[in-house]
A and B are shown apart, each in its own frame.
Chain A
Amino acid sequence: MNNIILKVENISKQYRLGLVGTGTISHDLNRWWHRVRGKEDPFLKVGAVNDRSAATKENYVWALRDINFEVQQGEVLGIIGKNGAGKSTLLKILSKVTSPTTGEIKTKGRIASLLEVGTGFHPELTGKENIYLNGAILGMTKAEIKQKEQEIVEFSGCQMYIDTPVKRYSSGMRVRLAFAVAAFLEPDILVVDEVLAVGDAEFQKKAIGKMKDISRGDGRTVLFVSHDMGAIQSLCDRLIVLKNGYVDFSGDIPGGINHYLKISELGSSMNYANVATDFGIEKVTFLDKDRQEVNSVMVGQKLVIRVDYKNFDKRNLSLSIGFLDNFSNFKFACRSDVLDVTYKDNIGVAYMTIDKWPLSEGSYHYNLAVHESSVMLQNIKEAGSFRVEKGDFYGTGKLPGKRGSFYIEYQWE
């Protein structure tokens, strides 16, 4: 059981902010002078937290701070985080491109990285020659590549162009070929960074399938960095969320994704408030059955949404609230005009009631809109987000399994 293949201990990485140049020599000399006297590097004591948007007076920043985690053999570990949270730095350290400022990484297997595929392709060489070159760069021997050449070519789907210089390839073809080479690499630990961003849907599916094979079939360990929650969900066993250079969450996939969405700037609020405009929806409040404000919604419970609006000028306008899941898939909408209800006050309040909340647990967003017959007058996309907790929908204390994304009322006789 306890088969740890990779152990990351207290990894930190410090970078210098601003230009490398001014004052560099003096800092280098200072560092050297401390080292000569056997003292600690003075610049390791300073350094700002890696928060992209914050202002700082420090010259140094901790891109990563005290990262600790372990990876089991055969596990697929997802790493997510906002831009600049330290994901790529972590992968660079793991793949030995740069060394950590402090800390240690211990591994029982060989690590190969697949960072931005296609680096190392020489444009003048043919596809086949590049397969060999890229394979060797990634650590394969010539004999190993030769053995897999046919499979690689087939997987890439670039048979026709294999004897053509890579400079004539489309960017998608380049990615296909590069991913194919890397996919047939046989490292114990594969590090993958955002490769699926390029390539068409068919290839993405193929690539995810291949990565599943790599981990499930061959028992190899994969570290996977992506912003694609769909890919993370279908591939990973466990998730680490990085924030400002720290490990902010480590655990199961749904929990990690929710955590990630919670810390991301977009839609962190449940209740929407807008005082900037002088027309339309001003405020949205989530209430429970007793009309008390709530922080989350529960499956099967009564939900009342209070909408404050203004300046409808006796125009008979309709209100609408639409619900979307984490991945911005539209779920359902509650439009007042469908029920022949319209509003016309200058300062008014509308209540929308859902007797039994149907969508299963997770994070959701909502859109708001105001219509005049079929013309949209106001449209607020992802006005807010909220969490749905597990709840007793059927009043029996029992719930069906995890499959399915909503509950409906039904009878059996």
Chain B
Amino acid sequence: MNTKHKDEWLYTISSKRKLIDFNFKEIWRYKDLLFLFVKRDIVTVYKQTVLGPLWYLIQPLFTSVIFTLVFNNLGNIGTGGVPPFLFNLAGITAWNYFKECLTKTSSTFTTNKGIFGKVYFPRVVMPLSITISNLLKFGIQLGIFLGFYCFYFFQGTEANMNQHMLLFPVYVLMMALLGLGLGMIISALTTKYRDLSILVGFAVQLLMYLSAVPYPISEAREKFPSKVALIVEYNPLTQITEGFRYMFLDTGTFTWFGFFYTLIISIALFLIGLVIFNRTEKSFIDTV
């Protein structure tokens, strides 16, 4: 212990808060905890289930089948020459990752109040670990998508990946940042007023239909009222699902404007989420 001077305090706990008050050094010190949380999430989800991680596959596959039946067979939505099943699977795979990050992180404070009420560690470790452990699920779902992709490819379907594949990691990052940012904002707001948590499940469902998951932007431009089409187009999530399909299936459109627009919004939302989350973590236990 160094106690050279009387005033050399290591840190101070006080009621005053700064607007932006991050202790990155501290978060770094807890990196092992982050990975242990990730490991815990992955290992424990499907303990004592028979099918285990196979459950990760069943949900997107069935949803794609239903979407194909409803939107493409019944609703006649064009997919630009790509097999509708593959088209839907691509959209759902991308959407699922965002959705999982959002819904899981949005309940951080309420689901962890037991442990948060007893021990201190940088709270942000929790949503971060959720986002990272969801990557595994995303990876598995991406795998099944690629499996079907190969199947269709060898059957002679024209669905070529293009050079925009290089942007793939950035897209994953954007999805994570958007889900995490929104999730942190919602989790911070739900500590005092529970209304939002009721809204989340339902809003996410609706948001999916405004994010061009079961249809391409071109169809939205053509068939939606112009104002709604505008909303769909400027929804950053639309840019992600569309871009995701574009790089894998070479269908739809890609603009650099849309790309950077989405990137900036993701980063901004993430930072706002971080600030709000950080402000809440100090005293949420009194109100949760």
Contact = CB atoms under 8 A, between A and B. Distances in A.
Interface of A: 2-5, 7, 15, 20, 24, 73, 92-110, 113, 115-116, 119-120, 122, 124-125, 129, 132-133, 136-142, 188
Nearest to A8: B13
B24 interface: no
5 contacts: A113-B119, A113-B120, A124-B48, A125-B40, A139-B121
Across the A-B interface, the 5 shortest Cβ-Cβ residue pairs? A136-B33, A96-B120, A105-B13, A119-B118, A142-B32
Contacts of A102: 15
B12 A105 contact: yes
B1 A94 contact: no
A116 B118 contact: yes
Given A97-B117, A97-B120, A119-B114, A137 B15 contact: no
Contacts of B164: none
A129 B35 CA distance: 12
A107 to B, nearest CB: 6
Given A113-B118, A113-B119, A125-B43, A24 B33 contact: no
B17, B35, B118 pick with most chain A CB within 10 angstroms: B118
Contact of B10 (A2, A100, A110, A142): A110
B118 A136 contact: no
Interface string B1-19: 1010010111111110100
B114 A98 contact: no
B283 interface: yes
Contacts of B40: 122, 125, 129, 133
A149 B56 CA distance: 35
A94 B17 CA distance: 17
Contacts of B11: 106-107
B1 A101 contact: no
B3 A98 contact: no
A113 B33 CA distance: 16
Given A107-B9, A108-B10, A120-B119, A136 B15 contact: no
Interface string B90-130: 00000000000000000000000011111111000000000
B13 A139 contact: no
B47 interface: yes
Contacts of B282: 98-99
B13 A97 contact: no
A353 to B, nearest CB: 55
A101 B15 contact: yes
B234 to A, nearest CB: 32
A97 B32 contact: no
B76 interface: no
B15 A99 contact: yes
B15 A103 contact: yes
A98 B43 CA distance: 31
Nearest to B12: A106
B1, B12, B114, B283 pick with most chain A CB within 10 angstroms: B1
Given A105-B14, A120-B118, 16 more contacts: A3-B3, A15-B286, A97-B117, A97-B120, A98-B286, A99-B13, A104-B12, A105-B12, A107-B12, A113-B118, A119-B118, A122-B40, A129-B40, A136-B30, A136-B33, A139-B121
Contacts of A101: 15
A236 B13 CA distance: 25
Contacts of B12: 104-107
Contacts of B115: 119-120, 137
Contacts of A141: 29, 32
B118 A97 contact: yes
A277 B250 CA distance: 95
Contacts of A129: 40, 43
Nearest to A73: B1
Nearest to B14: A104
B283 A99 contact: yes
Contacts of B43: 124-125, 129
Contacts of A116: 118
B1 A109 contact: yes
Contacts of B33: 136-137
Nearest to B117: A97
B47 A124 contact: yes
A133 to B, nearest CB: 5
B36 interface: yes
B205 interface: no
A5, A115, A133, A137 pick with most chain B CB within 10 angstroms: A137
A95 B14 contact: no
B196 to A, nearest CB: 14
Contacts of B36: 132-133, 136, 142
Contact of B44 (A113, A125, A142): A125
Contacts of B47: 124
Contacts of B120: 95-97, 113
A107 B192 contact: no
B285 interface: yes
B8 to A, nearest CB: 7
A24 B285 CA distance: 16
B30 A97 contact: no
Interface string B28-69: 011011011100100110011000000000000000000000
A245 B30 CA distance: 34
A93, A113, A133 pick with most chain B CB within 10 angstroms: A133
A32 to B, nearest CB: 13
A119 B32 CA distance: 18
B287 interface: yes
A98 B285 contact: yes
B27 to A, nearest CB: 12
A110 B142 CA distance: 43
Nearest to B26: A139
Nearest to A188: B1
Contacts of A95: 119-120
